[in-house]
Structure 1
């Protein structure tokens, strides 16, 4: 890949001047290296926030590198499709409802809210099981809820593949069932609940949840947002549930969300957790490398958006690994 250090330097200088100034702890050299890496992995836009201030906001201007047989016709859109990144937001909304007493316990049976899910009632599946991906529902892949015109009807017909509470199994279906519980608990559609409890308090004015073909609200993926809206969720978590001097979700919930549970040392309440290295972080991620990564000790929040390239390698995020996380974590280190 041919790099253009001067171009990136000028972009950074312009952006940093427009975004409250660069932290003295951050070097242009490290930011340039991060931009080069994200460019090479076909990202379209990244945003890096340090101690609550934007220190880098890069947008792709050369789209020739991402034009192929897998090119997306929506390439260049200012909007970001979250994919599964929104699952973590569903976790936050669950926590808010627990905080205010709308949900009385994570150990409440799903049957209390969605009694028509017969298998859930028969197997004593709880909210906690759904929230931690331990409900016994295996991942169905593209032939699962993703392919259904009526997603709620589909998930309510499912039977667990194993007993709940014995192993971790990541699935879209578990989170869609959790969304149904949020709707029944509040008496409102999930998009209204998210707007009232999360999007409006965080001033996420460019963010909306998606609907399936019959109008069911999708809470496991597909949300439309922008990087500047998405970074607010990461900052909320970094601030222990506070935003604009208001407690949106309790600090206890934030802590629990990013604490691994016994069946998955890398997963909490719909957040991925990496405590395996000195650069401990937690993340909300989705296909194509849509992501929010929070580094608590460095007070960093990183957002990555990819819209243009839909190739299988991009979907699988083969580039993501320890090297990438170290590059990010070292941004503020001498």
Structure 2
């Protein structure tokens, strides 16, 4: 069977079994979408869920051209993290089905370990960690005057909504995941069926149709409601504000400036729209430099990637949920008690962070970047399987406590 793209913006929705029959019923009269049909057939035939989809299965892809620059090599006698802490972190990461664990101090990798046949140049799917990159790109648009303010109403760019209540939602409220918009799943939740509009959207040939159809279900700004489709709306806004495709913005404004290797993003159809809420197919080590932006007020090698103060704005607590900023998790989350069953949306940690300013880039299946500002630490973890018992405090706290004082 020919491989077809699966834009996995519904990542969390594919936790359940995929051995379901193709739906007819409610969608029998929908216009035929051959790409949707072939992707659905391929999804079922492969028995895939987002973590098990091979990176080379995505098609079509848009190149995110990089400009790879080497990473610094630490001096052998200048380790700033106790070897016992690094060994314990690696042992736990391996036991949790990790494919990569990489640790950097002040931008220099001090530990790099791969498992399950992976290596430095093996691409992975960071899943929803990609959402944080979308917010970084909003910062670049503000720096260039393409967007004047995050308090502008989204009807400025989403002209289809002009004069409607949803048009008055602000960019800030979307960045905070407090848009008040519906999920778009017609009440079907995580049901893996072609009757579910989110499934049809995620496998179909138009990434923009479903997000642009969303209607308000509550006041904007009042309730935190994590929504993949809202991030796709941010991607539409970026494209319309800048006049450039998402993959071009990603390449020219972040990837090349950070000295990262070539990456790729899935498209809904040849020459079509990029997925923005997930799936920047890339090397785990390159996320060290993305994390480094949170240590250096958006600077890299003396150059501003985002405007001064944008990182502080991204990580500031939102009114609707203090643990979330602009498409990024910041500070302590759900602490202690029993670990939530299944797949908790809010990151769970067994104890408070050693550094309460710890930042988390959070992706389906335990894809993580942790930034620990007080220790100048960036930690990257990648996986292709769910961990057995993930604890979001363990790696950052273990390595923070193991950091040697000068």
The 1:49–1:122 alpha-carbon spacing in structure 2 relative to 1, beyond 3 Å, is closer
CA–CA separation in structure 1 for the residues paired with 2:161 and 2:206: 15
Q: Give SS of 1:228's match.
A: helix
User: Which residue number corresponds to residue 73 of structure 2?
Assistant: 19
1:148·1:154 contact (CA, 8 Å) conserved in 2?
no
TM-score, normalising length: structure 2: 0.69
Q: Which has the higher helix share?
A: 1
User: Which residue number corresponds to residue 91 of structure 1?
Assistant: 135
Instruction: Name which of 360, 383, 386 aligns with 1:306.
Output: 383
Task: Write the mapping of 1:242-257 to structure 2, written as runs, cut at 5 A.
Answer: 242-257=299-314
Asked if 1:296 is matched to 2:353, the reply is no
Asked if 1:332 is matched to 2:397, the reply is no
User: Which residue number corresponds to residue 50 of structure 2?
Assistant: none
Provide the aligned C-alpha RMSD in A.
2.4
Task: Write the mapping of 1:114-263 to structure 2, written as runs, cut at 5 A.
Answer: 114-117=158-161, 122=166, 124-139=168-183, 140=185, 142=190, 143=196, 144=198, 145-213=201-269, 215-263=272-320
Asked if 1:60 is matched to 2:104, the reply is no
Deviation at 1:75, TM superposition (A): 11
Asked if 1:41 is matched to 2:112, the reply is no
Q: Give SS of 1:81's match.
A: coil
Deviation at 1:137, TM superposition (A): 2.6
CA–CA separation in structure 1 for the residues paired with 2:303 and 2:167: 39
Q: Which 5+ residue runs of structure 2 have no aligned equivalent?
A: 1-71, 191-195, 333-351
Q: Give SS of 2:168's match.
A: coil
The 1:286–1:95 alpha-carbon spacing in structure 2 relative to 1, beyond 3 Å, is same
Deviation at 1:147, TM superposition (A): 4.2
Q: Give SS of 1:89's match.
A: helix
CA–CA separation in structure 1 for the residues paired with 2:214 and 2:135: 21
User: Deviation string for 1:39-67 (max 9, x for gaps)?
Assistant: 00000011100122110000115x6xxxx
2:353·2:397 contact (CA, 8 Å) conserved in 1?
no
Q: Give SS of 1:237's match.
A: coil
Q: Give SS of 1:55's match.
A: strand
Deviation at 1:227, TM superposition (A): 1.5
1:47·1:56 contact (CA, 8 Å) conserved in 2?
yes
2:370·2:396 contact (CA, 8 Å) conserved in 1?
no
Q: Give SS of 2:379's match.
A: strand
Q: Which 5+ residue runs of structure 1 have no aligned equivalent?
A: 1-17, 64-73
Aligned residues: 300
TM-score, normalising length: structure 1: 0.83
CA–CA separation in structure 2 for the residues paired with 1:324 and 1:229: 19
2:107·2:289 contact (CA, 8 Å) conserved in 1?
no
Deviation at 1:210, TM superposition (A): 2.0
CA–CA separation in structure 2 for the residues paired with 1:257 and 1:179: 17
1:242·1:248 contact (CA, 8 Å) conserved in 2?
yes
Deviation at 1:117, TM superposition (A): 3.8
CA–CA separation in structure 2 for the residues paired with 1:197 and 1:114: 23
Instruction: Name which of 380, 390, 402 aligns with 1:319.
Output: 390
The 1:28–1:277 alpha-carbon spacing in structure 2 relative to 1, beyond 3 Å, is closer
Greater Cα shift, 159-168 or 218-227: 159-168
2:101·2:379 contact (CA, 8 Å) conserved in 1?
yes
